[in-house]
Structure 1
Amino acid sequence: MNMPKMPLPALDDRMKTATILALFFVGLFAIQGVFMPYWPVWLKAQGLSAGEIGILLSLPNWVRVFADPLIAQRADHTGNRKTPMLWLAGIYVVTVLAFPVSSNFWWLAALSMVIGFTYAPLLPLGTTITVHECKTRDLDYGRVRLWGSLAFIVASYGVGWILDGTSTTWIVWMLFAAGVINFAIVTRMPDPQTERSLRSGSSLIYLLRKPVFLIYLGCIGFAQGAHGTYYSFASVHWESVGYSHEMIGAFWSTGVMAEVALFAFAGKFVRGRHPGILFAIGAIAGILRWIVLGSSDDVWLIMLVQPLHALTFGITHLAAVSFIARAIPQQLATSAQSLMATLSMGVFLGSSIWASGPLYQHFGSHAYYAMAGSSAIALVFSLWLMRSWRGEDKTFCD
C-alpha cells in the first residue's frame, strides 16, 4: 500500500517559510556577532574609559525598556508585525553610518539610544512571527533559530580574523554591511495578520498583574543579567591579557557552536520538560561558568567552560519561548515576548552591563563573581516557577 504524501506545493511552501525565517535570524545575529565582541573594542579605541564604555553599552538596553513595550503593544492591537520591522531595520542602517562622525561621548550616547530603539524590538517582533509560522506549518523552532547562532559564529570569528590584519575602524563598516543585509531579509519576512488583541485595555499591565508571569520574568531576567560582564568586557579583558582578535573570536565562537548544537537537537527534550527545569539547568551552568572565568585566564579553562553558553543562554532562551508558547494566547504573544525581552535584556542586562563598568575597573575579571550571584538568584526563581506553575496551556486566558 502506498503511503499518502504531502502535496509538493505544501512542502515547497514550508521550505520557503523555514528558509526566510532562518535568514531573519542570520541577519539579526550577524549584527550581534560584530557588535558584542568588538563594539567595546571600537569604543576603547575612541579613548573612552571602562566606565564610559559600560554606560554606552547599557544605553541600548535601557532604551528598549520603553521602546519594546510600546511597539509590541501596538503590534498586538493591530495584528501587524512586519511593517514596524521594516521601519526599524531601515533607521538602524542610517544610524550606524553616523558613529564615525565624532568620538564625543554625548554624540555616541545619543546614537546608542537610537540603536536601542531600532534594533532591540526586531527580535520580539520577529520571534512572534517565527513562533506563529512554526506552529502553523509544523516547523521546529530550535532548528530555525540555530541559523542565527551560526551567523553569530561566522561574524564573530570572521571579524576577528579581519581585524588582525586591518584596524578597528572597520568595525563600524562591518556593522553597516550587516545592517543592510538584515534590512533586505526583513523585506521578505512572512506577514501573518493575526487577530487583534483580546483585551481593550493594556495587554502589558494585564500580564504584569499575573504573579506567575512575574516569577517567569525573574527566571529569565537574572539568567540573562548574569551575562553582563561577559558581553561588555570579555573581549576587552582577553585583549588586555594578550589574546589576539582571532583567538577572541574563537572563544566567542566556541560558546555559540555549543548553542547551535543545542538548538539542533534539543527540540524533543525541551517540549517534554517544564520550563522551570530548563531555567534551573541554565542557572547552575551559569554559576560554574562565571566562577571559572572570574578565576582564570588560562586558554584551556576558557575553552572548557565556553560551551556552557549552550546552557546559560541557549536552554534559557528555549525555556522562555516555551513558556510563552504554552501559557500565553497568540493575541498577547508579542506583548509577552516584548516584556520578556525588555526586562531581561533591558532592565536586568542593562543594569548588569552598567554595573560591570565600575566592577571591572576595580576588580578586573573578578567582576564575574557578581554574575555568578545573579545566576544563583535565577536558580531560586526557577525552583519557584516549578512550584507555582504546573504547565497549564494558555494560563492567561480569562
Structure 2
Amino acid sequence: MNTPNATPSSKPSPTTDPDRMKTAATLALFFSGLFLIQGVFLPYWPVWLKSQGLSAAEIGILLSLPNWVRVFADPLIAQRADRTGNRKTPMMWLAGIYVLSILAFPISSDFWWLAALSVVIGFTFSPLLPLGTTITVHECKARELDYGRVRLWGSLAFILASYGAGWVLDGTSTEWIVWMLFVAGIVNFAITTRMPDPQTDRPLRSGSSLMYLLRKPVFLIYLACIGFAQGAHGTYYAFASVHWESAGYSHEMIGVFWSIGVIAEIVLFAVAGRFVRGRHPGILFAIGAGSGILRWIVLGTTDNLWLIILVQPLHAMTFGITHLAAVSFIARAIPQQLATSAQSLMATLSMGVFLGSSIWISGPLYEQFGSQVYYLMAVFSAISMAFAIVLTRTWRGEDQTFCN
C-alpha cells in the first residue's frame, strides 16, 4: 500500500510552496537594489557631470556611452548565460566590478577619463537587468507569482533614492552623488548574492540564438515598438533634472517630480496583473505610446509646476505599461531556453541603440532648443504607436507560436 507521502497529491502546489514567499521577497529585493542605483543615477548623474564643468554636448555623450556599450555587452553575456543555463554567477561578478568602478569617478574630471569609466559602467551595470529579469520571470511562472507586484518594489526603491538623494543634496554638495551611488552599489551586490539560481535547459538548437531571433520579422516589429518607446525618454533621462534646475526648482522638488512618475508606475504594477494577462502586447504598447505623445508635448511647452505634476503620472504608461508589454511578449512568445537572449536583445536595442542615440542627439539639440527637444520625443512615441498597430495585426498572441 502506498503511503500518503508517496501519492501525487502530496506534492506541494506552487501556492503552498514554503519557499514561495522567500523567493518573492528575494526577487523584490533584487529590483530594489538595482533601482536604488537608478534612483540616484537618472535624476542626478547629469547634475554631477555638469558640476565637473562639462558642456551639455559632453554630458549627452557620457550619458549615452553606457547605453551604447550594452549593445555589445548585453548580447555577449546573455548568450553565454543561455548556453550555460547559469545567470547568477555573471550577475555577482558584474555587480562587484560596478562597485569598484564607481569609486574611480572622483579621481579626475577629464572628459576621456570619465568616458572610459562610463564604458565600464555600461559593461557591468547594464546586463544586470536582463539577467535578473530572466530569473524573475522563470521563478514567477514556476511559483505563480505576480511579476508586476514583484517589480513594483524596484519602483519604490527608485522613489526612496531619488527623493532621498535630493534631500541630501540640498543640504550638502553634488560630490555626495558619487558616494550615494557607491553605497547603493554595495547594497545591490549583497542582494545579488542571494538571488535564486534556476538552471534551465541548454539551447534548443546549435548556432547563435541572437541571430535566430533577429531573423524573425515579428520579433523585429516587437523591437521597434519597445525601441522607439524607450528612445522617447532620451531627453527626459538626460536633461529633465538639468532643465528643472535651470528653471529654478530645488533638488528636493526635482526629486518630487521624478517620484510622482514612479509612484504612478508602482500603482500600475500593483493592479495591472489581470489586465495585462488578458491583453495583446501590441495594445499595451499603443497605450504607452499615446501617453508619450501627450507627456512630451506638455514638457516641451511649459515649465509650469502644476502642469509638470499633472503629466508626470503618465510615466506609468510611457514606461510602466510599455515594460509590462515587453515582458509579456517574451514570456508568451519565447521558449525559456532563449529567454535571456530575447531579454538581452530587447534591452540592448531599446535601452542601448534607441535610448543611447536619443540621449546623444539630445545634447546638442538641448543646447540649441532647450526643452523644445521634447517634441522630437513625441515623434518617437508616434512611431512606436505605428509599430504597435502592426504588431497587433501580425502576431496573434498564441503561446510560443512565434518560435515554432
Question: Does TM, normalized by the shorter one, top 0.5?
Answer: yes
1:110-189 → structure 2 map (5 Å cutoff)? 110-189=116-195
The list of structure 1 runs, each at least 4 consecutive aligned residues, that deviate by more than 2 angstroms after superposition, is 4-12, 395-398
Measure the CA separation in 2 of the matches of 1:154 and 1:42: 19
Task: Give the alignment's TM-score, normalised by structure 1.
Answer: 0.98
Residue identity matched to 1:102:
S
1:268 aligns to 2:295 (yes or no): no
1:44-123 → structure 2 map (5 Å cutoff)? 44-123=50-129
Structure 2: state its 5+ residue gaps. 1-9
Taking only aligned residues, the RMSD between alpha carbons, in angstroms, comes to 1.3
Contact residue 329 and residue 396 of structure 1 kept, 8 A = no
1:34 aligns to 2:40 (yes or no): yes
2:219 to 206, 213, 218: 213
Residue identity matched to 1:233:
F
1:335 to 336, 341, 345: 341
Q: How far does residue 396 in structure 1 lie from its aligned partner after superposition?
A: 3.5
Measure the CA separation in 2 of the matches of 1:290 and 1:10: 46
Contact residue 261 and residue 316 of structure 2 kept, 8 A = yes
Contact residue 60 and residue 361 of structure 2 kept, 8 A = yes
Measure the CA separation in 2 of the matches of 1:50 and 1:234: 12
Measure the CA separation in 1 of the matches of 2:11 and 2:311: 45
Measure the CA separation in 1 of the matches of 2:293 and 2:113: 37
Residue identity matched to 1:302:
I
Match of 1:395 in 2: 401
Residues 83-113 of structure 1: per-residue CA shift (max 9 Å, x gap):
1001000000000000000000000000000
Measure the CA separation in 2 of the matches of 1:181 and 1:196: 32
Partner SS for 2:18: helix
Residue identity matched to 2:214:
L
1:255 aligns to 2:238 (yes or no): no
Structure 1: state its 5+ residue gaps. none
Match of 2:5 in 1: none
Task: Give the alignment's TM-score, normalised by structure 2.
Answer: 0.96
Residues 306-356 of structure 1: per-residue CA shift (max 9 Å, x gap):
000000000000000000000000000000000000000000000000000
1:191 aligns to 2:193 (yes or no): no
Measure the CA separation in 1 of the matches of 2:348 and 2:356: 10
Partner SS for 1:350: helix
Contact residue 64 and residue 342 of structure 1 kept, 8 A = yes
Q: How far does residue 11 in structure 1 lie from its aligned partner after superposition?
A: 4.3
Measure the CA separation in 1 of the matches of 2:401 and 2:324: 18
Measure the CA separation in 2 of the matches of 1:362 and 1:12: 58
Query: Taking every aligned residue pair, what percent have the same amino acid on both sides?
Result: 81
Residue identity matched to 2:309:
M
Contact residue 37 and residue 156 of structure 1 kept, 8 A = yes
Q: 1:26 to 1:195 in 2, by over 3 A?
A: same
Partner SS for 1:311: helix
Measure the CA separation in 2 of the matches of 1:216 and 1:5: 39
